[in-house]
Chain A
Amino acid sequence: MAQKKEGKILGMERDTFRSLMGKYGVSIVMLVLIVVIGIMQPLFLKPSNLINVATQITINGMLAFGMCMAITTGGIDLTVGAQIALGGVMFGICTVKGGMPVVVGVLATVAVTTLFGFINGFLIAKFNMFPFVVTLSMQLVIRGVSLVISGGQGIQMGNDVGNIYYTNVFGMIPLPIIIYLVVFILMYLMFHWTKLGRYILAVGGNPNAALASGVSVFRIKIYAYAISGFLAGIASIILVAKTGNAKANIGEGYETDAVAACVIGGTSFAGGIATMPGVVIGTFIVGFIYNGINMVGIDGNYQSIIRGLVIILTVMMDMAINGKNRK
Chain B
Amino acid sequence: MRNKDEYIFECEGIYKAFGGTQALADVELHVKKGEVIALLGENGAGKSTLMKAVIGLHQPDAGTMTFEGKPYSARGPVEAMHAGISMIHQELNPEPHLTIAESIFLKRESTKGIFLDKKAQNKRAQEILDRFGFKHPATTMMRNLTLAQMQMVEIIKAVSCDAKMIIMDEPTSSLDSEETDHLFATIRDLKSKGVSIIYISHRMDEIFEICDSVAVFRDGTYVGARSMDGVTRDELISMMVGRQVKNVFPKTECEIGDVVFKVEGLTGQGFEDISFEVRAGEILGLTGLVGSGRSETMRAIFGLDPLKSGEMWLNGEKITIKSPKDAIKKGVCMVNEDRKDFGLCLFRSLRENISLPNLPARQKGILINQNREKKECEEYAKLLTVKAASIEHNAYSLSGGNQQKVVIAKWIMAGPKLLILDEPTRGVDVGAKSEIHTLMCQFAAKGMAIIMISSELPEVMGMSDRILIYHEGKLNGEVSREEVLSGAATQETILAKEFGGK
Contact = CB atoms under 8 A, between A and B. Distances in A.
A210 B359 CA distance: 13
A34 B300 CA distance: 57
Contacts of B328: 213-214
A49 interface: no
A206 B368 contact: no
Interface string A262-288: 000000100011000000000000000
Interface string B58-98: 00011110000000000000000000000000000000000
B407 to A, nearest CB: 9
Contacts of A198: 352, 355-356, 359, 368
B33 interface: no
A307 interface: no
A325 interface: yes
B367 A193 contact: yes
A1 B63 contact: yes
Interface stretch (A2-10, A56-64, A105-113): A2-10
Given A4-B15, A205-B348, A212-B334, A194 B343 contact: no
A326 B347 contact: yes
A185 to B, nearest CB: 13
Nearest to B366: A194
B304 A211 contact: yes
A193 B368 contact: yes
A190 B57 CA distance: 40
A13 B357 CA distance: 37
B342 interface: yes
Contacts, number: 103
Interface residues of A, number: 34
Nearest to A15: B20
Nearest to A2: B62
B348 A201 contact: yes
A268 B360 CA distance: 27
Contacts of B347: 205, 268, 272-273, 325-327
Interface in B340-378: 341-348, 352, 355-357, 359-360, 363, 366-368, 370
Contacts of A202: 345, 348, 352, 356
Given A2-B62, A3-B61, A215-B325, A209 B345 contact: yes
B61 A4 contact: yes
A208 B367 CA distance: 25
A32 interface: no
A293 to B, nearest CB: 35
Contact of A194 (B325, B345, B368): B368
Nearest to A196: B366
A324 interface: yes
A12 to B, nearest CB: 12
6 contacts: A3-B62, A194-B363, A198-B355, A202-B356, A205-B347, A208-B342
Leading 3 A-B pairs by shortest Cβ distance? A205-B345, A195-B359, A214-B325
Interface of B: 13, 15, 17-20, 25-26, 61-64, 302, 304, 323-325, 327-329, 334, 336, 341-348, 352, 355-357, 359-360, 363, 366-368, 370, 394, 410
Interface of A: 1-4, 6, 13-15, 18, 189, 193-195, 198, 201-202, 205-206, 208-216, 268, 272-273, 324-327
